[in-house]
Each structure stands twice: as structure tokens, then as C-alpha cells.
Structure 1
Amino acid sequence: PAAEVIALYSGFEEGEVDSISYISLDEHLGRLTARDLRQLETNVPLETLKIVVDLAVEIGREGREGKPVGTLFVVGDSRKVMAKSQPLAFDPVKGYSRKERNLRDNRVKEAIKEIALLDGAFVVASDGTVEAACRHLNGTTEMVTLSKGLGTRHWAAAGITKETKSIAIAVSESNGTVRIFQNGEVMLRIEPFRRPMKWKDFEYEQPATEKE
């Protein structure tokens, strides 16, 4: 069962306990706020980041054909990312129109889940268009420090974001954890959950006051 927390706090008048909250940690940790993503200070639109993060979380949670899947998305600064990467093999998205490669289309997202079984990274433009798939990233790992146990995919994510203005979103094959990288560092971490992730638009809503 999920851990549960009851919190008593001062919500209206300082020094007086006047509010109570019930928090299910399983539910709470399965949500991100727009504020969480805004801390990245990137030119990539928030909506694009949400779409890619949602897709990464789905891949981490569901896998494919009953097997765990790890993959990597590099979003934004796509020209420089392409210049600092090379194809590992045949690119499955090559030859399709930009509309047919845009992650705002659910059919495209389902196709990307299949391609995620292959090695290499996805390069995604700021508008959500997948510029390329199955890319080997050539970013530097000098002056990059990561936690022990993170593999090649995470080092590649750190390296490419160190050299470009991109945001990298890595899915761990071993446990489905999603990590968001910027400037060579892990900025956010999302643990896998059984249920789809929920976006929270606000942190607090003041209750309505009674009319006299």
C-alpha cells in the first residue's frame, strides 16, 4: 500500500493551526507541476516538454511487448544536437513529413514507442517534431559528475546537454525511472508508477469565504 501523510499547518493566520491536508505519496509523487518544468529555464515550449515527458514516463511504465525499454529524447537546440551526433543505423523516421513526425499526434507517439526498442537517441525539435531517431550522441563527459550506477544512456544525456542548450529526457531500462537533464546535470527525476502521470496546474487553492 502507498504511504499516507496527514499534515496540519497554518494556512491563513500565522501561529494558528487552521488547515489539514491528506497526502497519498503514491499519488503526489506521480505528478509534476508546470513550475517543476519552468525551473529548467529553456526556450523549449512547456507544452512540448510535457508531451515528451509524458511519453517517456509511459515508456518507462509500460515497456513494450512485456519487456522493459530504455530510451533517450533530446529536445531543443536540434541543429546543434544533430551536428554533435551521428546515425547508428537506418533512421526509421527519415522521409516522413514534419506533420507525420510530430509528437502532438497520438499515432506518432505510438510509433515512437515501437522505435524506442532500437538503440540510440531521439532528437526532437522545440515544436515537438522528431528530427531523427537512432542517433549516437557525441557530447563531452568532461566536467560531468553523475551518481554511481547510471549507465551509458545517462552519461550521453549529461554530455549532450553540457555542450548544447537542449533538454535530455532519459528512461532507465532497469527500473523505468525518468531523469531530466540540463547543463550536464540531473534536474528532475520521476519514478515509475502503475497509473499514468498527472499534471498539476496549481499548488494551492484558497477555500471560498462565506458571504455575510
Structure 2
Amino acid sequence: MAKFSEQLQSFCDLALRLAELHDVDAVLFVFERPTDWKQLQKAVSKSNVVIAGDTEEVVAGAADEGFDTIVLNMPADAPTYERLTQALLEGVAEEFFPEGASVVAAYSGFEAGPIDSVSLIKLDEHLGRLTVRDLRQLKTKVPVETIKLVVDLAVEIGREGREGKPVGSLFVVGDHRKCMEFARPMGFDPVKGYTRQERRLTDAKVREGVKEIAQMDGAFVVAADGTVVASAQHLAAPNTPDLTLSKGLGARHWAAAQVTKATGAIAVAVSESNGTVRVFQDGEVKLRIEPFRRAMKWKSFDTDGPT
């Protein structure tokens, strides 16, 4: 266990002063190595503090001192901005932070190991925004505009549900001919019989129709140009032993992982339980978006944040 340093004490004081000044909901500490949790508890008093760490070993013992804990399970060389964002996403998922919360985060922004940075973060602004850069990291032949269209639609479904009820859904985008080899109708397919022009997601009426169909079981298969090829499909791509998913993710997410492992498609899954949207490629979750009540903002360019 690392010694509770004077530098850490100083950043605790700074984080708490900033939290009080802006009346935030919580303070988040992102640690790369264990610390003296008893000393930290004394330093932060009765403040609402959440501890995040790279591994179980890093946060071991923190819960015993009354802290809520988050394990990131990310590569050691993951950029600071991505690690911080993952910690915030996990905090929302675990309900450590309320929707739209303000959080003061203390983390290692410049030098590995010691905490040396503090930020004031508004979650609905930080997590409710994607950039074109985020989608281009997928390195796919599917046009970015098509992926944006599907992600926006999925986020709307996750945020709004349908008629007040939560709705889960799955979109598989690109490599549609290969995807259809693993698909079979679950019954009536509402898009069957329409012309390609009448099935394009660029049409607002089509998107509204998709929201209605999303209440049915099964996945949407979408071509790279944004045309809905089929709906209400059961996907049965072969499983591979190297596929792993987080606990709590069900059949819809496994189908997304399997079909993207077997094809060149991108899958966008909406969780029925909380509306969270996950973007899959090559069997892995590449992006995760929380469905805040306010519409998601797209930005053509954004800085990388702290590195």
C-alpha cells in the first residue's frame, strides 16, 4: 500500500474546496495504485466520495472504509481521458452518481501514479456528447454518417422508450449479406415488401416507424447506406471461446458480440433495463453511451482532454 502523501492530502483539500464551491453531487478519485484508505477517509470527512481503480487490487480495502468502488479493467496504457470517462460511466451505471450530476474528479493526468489533476465535470455534457473522432476509431467500411444515424436512433430509443415503457433493441449495420446468413425471421417482418427508398433511415418517417417496430423482439439489419434490410430477426452467429462480456449483459448483447466477431458489421445494442447504448465491433464493446434526457450532441471536432 502506498503512503498517504502530502501531495495527495493537498489534492484532497483542493477537491473538497472545489466541491463545496460548486455544490457538486460527488467527488471521484481515480487511483493507479492503492493508498491508505483510513487516512483518505479522514481527509475527505463525510463527503460523498467514490474510488475508482485500474484493478481489484488497487481498490482493495476501500469498501471497508465506506467508499463506493469502481474497477475499470482497462489497459494500463489507456489514455487518461478514456479512463476518466469509463469511471464516470460506471458510476452512472452503479447509481453512485445521479443523472446529470456534477462531479469533481481527482486523477493522474500528467504523470503515472500520483494524483496531480482536478477537474469539475458536468456528466450530461461530458457523457452526452460524441465526436466524429469517436466513431472513426472503429475503422470500418461503414460510412460514419450511417453509424451516426443508427447511434442517434438507438440513443433516442434508450432515452424515450415507447409509450412510457423501456425498450431494448439491436441494430446490425454493414456487411448485411453476411449478417443475413446468420439471421432468421422471428415471425412477421414489418419492413418486408417496401422499396429500398421506403426503408432508408435518412427519412424521419422511417426512423419513427423503426421506433415502433423496436418494441417487437429481434434485431434490425441495416445496410451500409442506411437502408433497413430486415427487422424482427433472430441472430445466431457462431460463438467463439474468446468472447467475454461484462456481468449483467444478456442475450441481445451476446448476439451483438457474436455477429460482429463473425462479420465486418457494427452492432448497436440498447439495454432494456437502463437504456444504455453499446457499440460493438469484432466481438467487443467499443463505445458506451448513457441515454441522458437531453439530446446527445455531435461535435465535428474535440480536443483529446487531459493526457
Within the candidate set 189, 194, 197, 2:288 is matched to 189
Once residues 155 and 237 of structure 2 are traced to their aligned partners in structure 1, the CA distance between those partners, rounded to angstroms, is 24
Tell me the equivalent position of 2:28: none
Structure with the bigger percentage of helix: 2
- The one-letter code matched in structure 2 to 1:48 is T
2:184 is the alignment partner of 1:86 = yes
Tell me the equivalent position of 2:274: 175
Within the candidate set 179, 196, 200, 2:299 is matched to 200
Instruction: Say if 2:102 and 2:120, in contact at 8 Å, map to a contact too.
Output: no
Once residues 104 and 5 of structure 1 are traced to their aligned partners in structure 2, the CA distance between those partners, rounded to angstroms, is 39
1:34-183 correspondence to structure 2 within 5 Å: 34-143=132-241, 144-183=243-282
Tell me the equivalent position of 2:75: none
Once residues 111 and 69 of structure 1 are traced to their aligned partners in structure 2, the CA distance between those partners, rounded to angstroms, is 14
Give the alignment's TM-score, normalised by structure 2: 0.60
Q: Post-superposition shift, 1:141?
A: 2.4
- The one-letter code matched in structure 1 to 2:300 is D
Tell me the equivalent position of 1:18: none
Once residues 193 and 114 of structure 1 are traced to their aligned partners in structure 2, the CA distance between those partners, rounded to angstroms, is 21
Instruction: Say if 2:278 and 2:289, in contact at 8 Å, map to a contact too.
Output: yes
Give the secondary structure class of the aligned counterpart of 2:140.
coil
Give the secondary structure class of the aligned counterpart of 2:148.
helix
Structure 2: unaligned runs, 5 residues or longer: 1-99, 107-118
Once residues 183 and 256 of structure 2 are traced to their aligned partners in structure 1, the CA distance between those partners, rounded to angstroms, is 12
Residues 39-61 of structure 1 deviation map (CA, whole Å, 9 limit, x = unaligned): 11100000000000000000000
Residues 131-171 of structure 1 deviation map (CA, whole Å, 9 limit, x = unaligned): 00001101122221001110000000000001000000000
Structure 1: unaligned runs, 5 residues or longer: 8-20, 205-212
Once residues 302 and 210 of structure 2 are traced to their aligned partners in structure 1, the CA distance between those partners, rounded to angstroms, is 32
Once residues 3 and 29 of structure 1 are traced to their aligned partners in structure 2, the CA distance between those partners, rounded to angstroms, is 12
Q: Post-superposition shift, 1:37?
A: 0.5
Q: Which moved more, 1:84-93 or 1:138-147?
A: 138-147
Q: Post-superposition shift, 1:28?
A: 1.5
Aligned length: 194
Once residues 180 and 115 of structure 1 are traced to their aligned partners in structure 2, the CA distance between those partners, rounded to angstroms, is 20
Q: Post-superposition shift, 1:201?
A: 1.2
Once residues 54 and 140 of structure 1 are traced to their aligned partners in structure 2, the CA distance between those partners, rounded to angstroms, is 29
Q: Post-superposition shift, 1:74?
A: 0.1
After the TM superposition, list the runs of 4 or more consecutive aligned residues in structure 1 that deviate by more than 2 angstroms.
Answer: 4-7, 21-25
Tell me the equivalent position of 2:122: 24
Give the secondary structure class of the aligned counterpart of 1:111.
helix
- The one-letter code matched in structure 2 to 1:161 is T
Give the secondary structure class of the aligned counterpart of 1:134.
strand
Tell me the equivalent position of 2:23: none
Once residues 6 and 157 of structure 1 are traced to their aligned partners in structure 2, the CA distance between those partners, rounded to angstroms, is 33
Once residues 86 and 147 of structure 1 are traced to their aligned partners in structure 2, the CA distance between those partners, rounded to angstroms, is 27
Q: Post-superposition shift, 1:4?
A: 4.7
Q: Post-superposition shift, 1:25?
A: 2.4
**CA RMSD across the alignment:** 2.0
Residues 107-135 of structure 1 deviation map (CA, whole Å, 9 limit, x = unaligned): 00000000000000000000000000001
